Amino acid sequence: MFSILRTIWLTFLHIFHKTETIEYPEVKPYLPPRYRGRIVLTRDADHNERCVACNLCAAACPVDCISLQATEDETGRRYPEFFRINFSRCIFCGFCEEACPTYAIQLIPDFEMAEYDRQNMVYEKEHLLIDGEGKYHGYNFHKEAGVDMGVKGKGEGKNEETPVDVKDLMP
Amino acid sequence: MPLEIMIKIQIDGKEYEVEPKKNLLETCLALGFDIPHFCFHAALGSVGACRLCAVKKFRNAEDTKGKIVMSCMEPVVEGLIISTDDEETKQFRAAVIEGLMTNHPHDCPICDEGGECHLQDMTVMTGHNYRRFDFKKRTFQNQNIGPFIHHEMNRCIECYRCVRFYRDYAGGKDLNVFASRNNVYFGRLEDGTLENEFSGNLVEVCPTGVFTDKTLKNHYTRKWDLSNAPSVCTHCSLGCNIIASERYDSLRRIMSRYNGEVNGYFICDRGRFGYEFVNDEKRIRKAEIRSGKTEILTEVDDSTLFSTLKDTFTANKKVIGIGSPRASLEANYALSVLVGSYNFYHGISTKEQDITKTVLNFLQQSGIPTPSLKQIEKADAVLILGEDLVNTAPMMALAVREASRNKGKEMAEKLGIPAWNAHPVMQVAQDAKSPIFIATPFKDSLDEVAETTFRGNLSDIAGLGFAVASALSAEAPTFKLTDKDQQSLAEKIALKLKNANNPVIISGINCGDEQLIRAACNIATALYSAEKKGVLSMVLPESNSMGLAYLEGKSLDDAISLTEKEEIDTLIVLENDLYRRATSTSVEQLFDRCKQVIVLDQLTNKMTLKADIVVPAATFAEAEGTLVNNEGRAQRYYKTIVNKNQVKESWRWLAEMIRIKTDSPSVQWKKFDDITSALIASNAAFAALKNYFSDADFRMLNEKIPRQPLRYSGRTSMHANVAVTETGIQPDIDSPLAFTMEGSHANPPSSLVPFYWSPGWNSVQAVNKYLDEPNGRMKGGDAGIKLIISVENAKTTYFKANIQPVELTKGEFLIVPVYQIFGSDEMSSAASTLSQRIPEPFVYLNPKDAEALKLEADELIQLEIDNTILKIKIRTEASIGLGMAGLSVNLPEMPFVDLPGRGKIYNMKVES
């Protein structure tokens, strides 16, 4: 008996609480920055594509909804020739973001992706690539890697010595 | 040979019976233990450089402390007690990897080796995962080492495998080690193309991403994303096993597929980089029909094509078919059924057909075995008659190189040094080599392993051969050379062959001289009848030359002379560019005398431009087929690309034509198994195929064998741009393989292995899991079945020596063919990267002859041979005899020239 009255009382008190329900779509909900919504491809601080087409996101994807093809520019810098995500299959698990070694692929707090036609859920690179760095600022993979891809020369990376002179006899 | 007595050793407390004379690492790998290793490669032996394969060895059962030893340098001996998972050993290995990783760059995402990297595998296997070294990484500048291989030296871990393969195994000169200590640099003295014919194997030999496939880089795909199929190389007669890999409907790369009897771990650069023709713009992908007598070929759909073919076959009575030595057995057979074996022509010259038949008959009836490449590797004396192996059968040249080292191994064994202990064996051997004799018209890179080389024209070489045979056995036709030095050389060769345990005679039909073949056969016969040993290997021109010889048919010359007599209604040409096999006048005459010409081919060429109906045929990557290699080994390739557009297998097109022509359901070849069973029933020689190849109903654990690795990505997205609704798995009614990642990933039968993978082993080193032992047989036996079975107690017959002395008129030269590894094969020449390596057509001329004609190197000359006039550059070549010239043949721009022959050479300056 007491528990029933207590429940009625607690429910009654809710009349005076702040409402949790919001008037979507007139009012937008707050989503934290790390919310796993729409997937984007970001650029580095030099405004170049961060994606190096390593295929790790595609390999990590549990529903196999990412496909891409690597290609190279004249400096040898690798980038995706096409990058396709089939959002009608995506489960927004964020594994692709976790797998990405360059912070290129990121999930953002945007979930409004509904479409009438399923074909429109297929996003190509032009739909995915944004102009900014997304959540992670300052990282440029090409400065860390040992390969010369037009960003830095051999031995000019953060953690590199100048290239060995093969003809040098000094110990 | 008596069976080796097995010995007992103890690993991790368990007893195993193992073969003696091996090293501990290969023994452990054969037993299935995952011992990390870098520098050890079963084909190259052990050097103990990387220190990764450490295990703990105990003195006896009471010893609990033990000591760490390198398993690759430890011979297995009776009573050996070791531990592979001892804590101290594990720490040791992790420390080795940690050391190697201090300089390894942060490259994996952009490294082509990523996902199939031996270093990645070993790092995970040893457990090293966190970089404690705070200092900077050493860097190197890269080199441009040619169109085939990309060089990224920062990734090097100094295992020395590349130079050990390139220099010590393949005989290359232009890759070396420079500098010292942790600065050692593997590269060339200066930028430039790697010259060796086997440079592509560096991609597989290198355990990291220093050497990667540059052609793959153009359309890079990770190993886990490739859809693969077991295939057979179609670029020469040896039939090396390959893995062909596809992604997004294009062929991405070729890797070697292990076959203990044929190619082992390696393939040549022609085989590895010749694949690009499959993706070429010149590919015929739509059926085309010429409307009336116009110049224009119009693309048509299947129904129009079939109705045109129906009209053709109803109106026309006389139909003949020309097959091809580069088409599969099934395609050739289907054509011979379509036109009737009486109207079936082999599509090779009478001369080539006759010599091929001589070879086949000899191998079938003489009782003399023909060796696999593996057996050639084990030879202790080799005689090569007339064949330029490096350019016509590159992997055989590599096998001969391996054979040359057997002498050193034998010397080392006498000192108690096992053959796998690579460095001491080299030290003991110094310059000692097994006796190898090379008799060819001009020098090639294999000469350096020869004890003696013999230079002369083809008759001289054949004469030498007959003299050797005569010296070997009194029964052989008596033949003595007039030149005393030559005669004593012949006697020396005979003696060395006689004294050897495994002598091998190698010859081939590419130089087009029947006397030479007969001489080689006589030597083998003499050796075999006198000593009951010796094997004979014959190199043939193309991938299915041997298979074609099994089918009944006439030659191309017969077809041409037939058209001189009567007019033909319809001519069907199967995958054969006749302009490469006969003069353009005779081919054009053939065309003129045939009312209608139907050509089935893969690439646009002169033939397809002249044909009335062009039918798009599938390449080796899009079809199933059987090829018979030079030793009579039938091997099957499977499709890796799903056929798109109208491209279909040639046999399928021909089966369709049979249906249209006969209009009866009597021949109904719906799937590959239907035609193979018809083929097997047609000829008793093919009976052996029946139980050997798995048919399409073969299942492993109730499932087909997946072509794709478990990690295959992008299934729900790769075709989503076309239609987001997924079409499902493409069915494959022709083979036991499936276009999917789903299915049994257990080891399939050796002829059906689509790729190598095993848990923890993502790199090509996973191949060890598919072998009985490293460098041994595939589990369950190597792929392929030999159709030639040596008959017991065959009658000894000799060919008669018929050597005409060569007499040249003034200004006349004996012209011999010169083959090129890059360029002389038709299909690989169309590969865009490989075509960069094709030389300009040239003529070899002795410098003295050149001087007499007042010619300098690289000068244009006029060559007249059989009414053909060629303007061509000369190359002075001191090794070619006086009065002889070597003409580069089969290069893409070269017209057909019937060689060997006689021709005249003019200095164009003098003429003008």
- CB contacts of B110 in chain A (<8 Å) are 52, 54, 78, 145, 147, 149
- What would the pLDDT profile of B255-266 be if each residue is shown by its tens digit? 999 999 999 999
- What would the pLDDT profile of B59-71 be if each residue is shown by its tens digit? 988 998 999 999 9
B402 lies in some domain = yes
CB nearest B114 (choices: A54, A102, A155)? A54
Name the β-bridge partners of B68. B56
- CB contacts of B152 in chain A (<8 Å) are 146-147
Q: What is the ipTM of this complex?
A: 0.90
Q: Are B91 and B189 members of one domain?
A: no
B791 lies in some domain = no
pLDDT of residue B1: 41
User: How far is the C-alpha of B906 from the C-alpha of B895, rounded, in Å?
Assistant: 19
Average of pLDDT values for B540-557?
A: 94
CB nearest B717 (choices: A84, A145, A159)? A84
Q: Are B195 and B338 members of one domain?
A: no
The dihedrals phi and psi of A160, each to the nearest 5 degrees, come to -120, 145
- CB contacts of A69 in chain B (<8 Å) are 219, 221, 248
* Token pair 């919310």: residue: A35
Q: Are B393 and B272 members of one domain?
A: no
- CB contacts of B221 in chain A (<8 Å) are 55, 69-70
Last residue of a domain, one of B498, B516, B540: B540
Name the β-bridge partners of B758. B761
Q: Are the CB atoms for B564 and B589 separated by under 8 Å?
A: yes
Average of pLDDT values for B762-767?
A: 94
Interface test with B, best of A159, A167, A169, A170 (most B CBs within 10 A): A159
Closest-approach residue (CA) in chain A for B723: A119
B250 lies in some domain = yes
Q: Are B827 and B882 members of one domain?
A: yes
Q: CB under 8 Å to B846, separation ≥6 — which residues?
A: B876, B877, B878, B880, B881, B882, B884
B489 lies in some domain = yes
Q: Are B535 and B551 members of one domain?
A: no
User: How far is the C-alpha of B556 from the C-alpha of B541, rounded, in Å?
Assistant: 16
Interface test with B, best of A56, A64, A169 (most B CBs within 10 A): A64
The dihedral over CA atoms of B188, B193, B199, B204, expressed in degrees to the nearest 10, equals 80
- What would the pLDDT profile of B422-457 be if each residue is shown by its tens digit? 999 999 999 999 999 999 999 988 999 999 999 999
Taking all residues of chain A, what is their mean pLDDT, rounded to a whole number? 92
Structure token digits, residue B598: 């139907």
B783 lies in some domain = no
Q: How many alpha carbons lie under 13 Å from residue B142 in its C-beta half-sphere? A: 22
CB nearest A155 (choices: B109, B139, B248)? B139
Q: Are B322 and B388 members of one domain?
A: no
Q: Are B122 and B94 members of one domain?
A: no
Q: Nearest CA of chain A to the CA of B135: how many Å?
A: 7
CATH architecture of A28-144: 2-Layer Sandwich (3.30)
Q: Is the peptide bond before B839 cis (omega within 30 degrees of 0)?
A: no
CATH number at residue B844: 2.40.40.20
Closest-approach residue (CA) in chain A for B247: A69
CATH number at residue B414: 3.40.228
What is the percentage of chain B residues whose pLDDT exceeds 70? Answer: 99
pLDDT at A170 over 50: yes
Q: Are B358 and B339 members of one domain?
A: no
pLDDT at B792 over 80: no
Interface test with A, best of B136, B138, B139, B140 (most A CBs within 10 A): B139
Closest-approach residue (CA) in chain B for A80: B220
CB nearest B713 (choices: A58, A85, A145)? A58
Q: Nearest CA of chain A to the CA of B134: how many Å?
A: 9
CB nearest A55 (choices: B180, B713, B715)? B713
- What would the pLDDT profile of B647-670 be if each residue is shown by its tens digit? 999 999 999 999 888 876 666 888
pLDDT of residue B2: 47
What is the band of B834 on the pLDDT scale with cuts at 50, 70, 90? very high
Closest-approach residue (CA) in chain A for B113: A54
Average of pLDDT values for A46-56?
A: 94
CB nearest A84 (choices: B107, B138, B720)? B720
pLDDT at B140 over 60: yes
Average of pLDDT values for A147-160?
A: 87
B794 lies in some domain = no
B787 lies in some domain = no
- CB contacts of B715 in chain A (<8 Å) are 64
- What would the pLDDT profile of B853-896 be if each residue is shown by its tens digit? 888 888 899 999 888 899 999 999 999 999 999 999 999 888 99
- What would the pLDDT profile of B186-217 be if each residue is shown by its tens digit? 999 999 999 999 999 999 999 999 999 999 99
User: How far is the C-alpha of B261 from the C-alpha of B205, rounded, in Å?
Assistant: 20
Average of pLDDT values for B175-187?
A: 91
Q: Are the CB atoms for B180 and B243 separated by under 8 Å?
A: no
- What would the pLDDT profile of B292-302 be if each residue is shown by its tens digit? 767 788 899 99
pLDDT at B912 over 70: no
- At A114 the three-state DSSP class reads coil
Q: CB under 8 Å to B342, separation ≥6 — which residues?
A: none
Indicate yes or no: CB of B140 within 8 angstroms of CB of A171.
no
Buried-state track B165-178, b at ≥16 Cβ within 10 A, e below 16: bbbbbbbbebbeee
- What would the pLDDT profile of B212-238 be if each residue is shown by its tens digit? 999 999 999 999 999 999 999 999 999
Last residue of a domain, one of B517, B540, B563: B540
The residue type of B593 is: R
Q: What is the 3-state secondary structure (H, E, C) of B531-567?
A: HCCCEEEEECCCCCHHHHHHCCCECHHHHHHHHHHCC
B777 lies in some domain = no
Q: Are B15 and B149 members of one domain?
A: no
What is the band of B3 on the pLDDT scale with cuts at 50, 70, 90? low
Name the β-bridge partners of B494. none
The dihedral over CA atoms of B677, B680, B682, B687, expressed in degrees to the nearest 10, equals -150
CB nearest B724 (choices: A72, A121, A162)? A121
Structure token digits, residue B302: 């299947």
- What would the pLDDT profile of B72-100 be if each residue is shown by its tens digit? 999 999 999 999 999 999 999 999 999 99
Q: Are B234 and B157 members of one domain?
A: yes
Interface test with A, best of B221, B226, B717 (most A CBs within 10 A): B717
**Total domains, chain B:** 5
CATH number at residue B752: 3.40.50.740
- State which H helix or E strand residue B338 sits in: helix B329-339
Last residue of a domain, one of B58, B75, B101: B101
Indicate yes or no: CB of B711 within 8 angstroms of CB of A65.
no
Q: Is the peptide bond before A25 cis (omega within 30 degrees of 0)?
A: yes
How big is the A-B interface in CB pairs under 8 Å?
A: 141
Q: Which domain holds residue B236?
A: 108-279
- CB contacts of B725 in chain A (<8 Å) are 118
